[in-house]
Amino acid sequence: MGSLNATVAPFTTSNVIPWFRTFWALAASGFRRYSTYRQATVAGIVTNTVFGFLRCYVLLAVAGAAGTAGGYDRPQLATFVWVGQGLLTVVLLWGWTELADRIRTGDVTADLLRPVHPVTAYLATDLGRAGHAALARLLPPVVVAPFFFELYLPTRWPTVLLFAGSATAAVVICFACRYLVNATAYWLADVRGPLVLWTLGSGVLCGLYFPLRFLPEWLYQALWIATPFPSLLQTPLDVLVERDPAPVQVALVAVQAGWVVVLLAACRWVQRRAERRLAVQGG
């Protein structure tokens, strides 16, 4: 089969309301879809909680008698770990191969025939998934942690709003990164290589295993500016524990907003390039 291009209506002022209705419907369907996996949700909560204890004790041991490490005090480290355990599933670093699977089987052609752009459709569904994860996977670790550890509570009221915006931006950035990794299936017969590289690199560079501020200042600042990885977990967690003054917090969220624009544009560009050369296997 020759190249196949999606027919997508242009985004104009006359179709803004229908566009948002469609986007909301897709997000709601994503929420409902993931809310059906109740046993997986419970198993994930238990796993995240267990690893929360392990990671928290390790970082508190790093802080040692001094009570600080990398500029974080003990309550900040505990909050960093436990909220990070919940955010891990909200941003969904790993485990999403739906686009790559549909490209491999040829089912992606159905996506290209729909009136909604594939990037928009997958993003809306992913935001719905993230909404469910925020309720089912983020809240339980945060509720459990105060019974065993002293957590840090923000002292500036704008921090809560900044954290919500930062976490939302992290979800979109992570979606875009996963989309780009999956889109390599348009050119590669086997995407396991890019997926492994993404799994290894994202976990280390996003601040999951340890706060990036444990690294030399020149290194973590370069990572923050030159790569989107710190925006996935490190930035929202630093905003929450108020690691920096308010102006720096705003600047960090602004960096995230920049990555949102750049990466979503990259997703659409890659999708256009892929549609020009797509040939369905066996067609």
Q: CA torsion 279→93→114→26, rounded to 10°? A: 170
Rounded to whole angstroms, the Cα distance separating 118 from 112 reads 7
Q: Produce one character per residue of 90-108: b if its CB has 16 or more CB atoms within 10 Å, e if not.
A: bbbbeebbbbbebbbeeeb
Q: What is the pLDDT along the chain (283 residues), one digit of tens a residue?
A: 344 444 445 555 556 677 678 888 888 888 888 888 888 888 888 888 898 899 999 988 988 877 788 888 999 999 999 999 989 999 998 888 889 888 888 888 888 888 888 999 999 999 999 999 998 888 888 888 999 999 999 998 899 999 999 999 999 999 999 999 999 988 887 888 899 999 888 888 998 888 999 989 889 889 988 999 999 999 999 999 999 899 999 999 999 999 999 999 999 999 988 887 765 444 4
Residue 155: half-sphere exposure toward Cβ, Cα within 13 Å: 7
pTM of the predicted structure, to 2 decimals: 0.89
The pLDDT, as a whole number, for residue 276 is 79
Q: Is 82 helix (H, G, I), strand (E, B) or coil?
A: helix
The pLDDT, as a whole number, for residue 180 is 95
For residue 207 the two structure tokens come to 């601040």
- Enumerate residues 6+ apart whose C-beta is below 8 A from 263: 172, 173, 176, 177, 180, 228
The pLDDT, as a whole number, for residue 235 is 95
Cα→Cα distances 33→88, 130, 260, Å: 19, 11, 25
Asked if 81 contacts 55 with a C-beta cutoff of 8 angstroms, the reply is yes
Q: CA torsion 155→161→163→168, rounded to 10°? A: 170
Q: What is the DSSP letter of 137?
A: I
The pLDDT, as a whole number, for residue 278 is 63
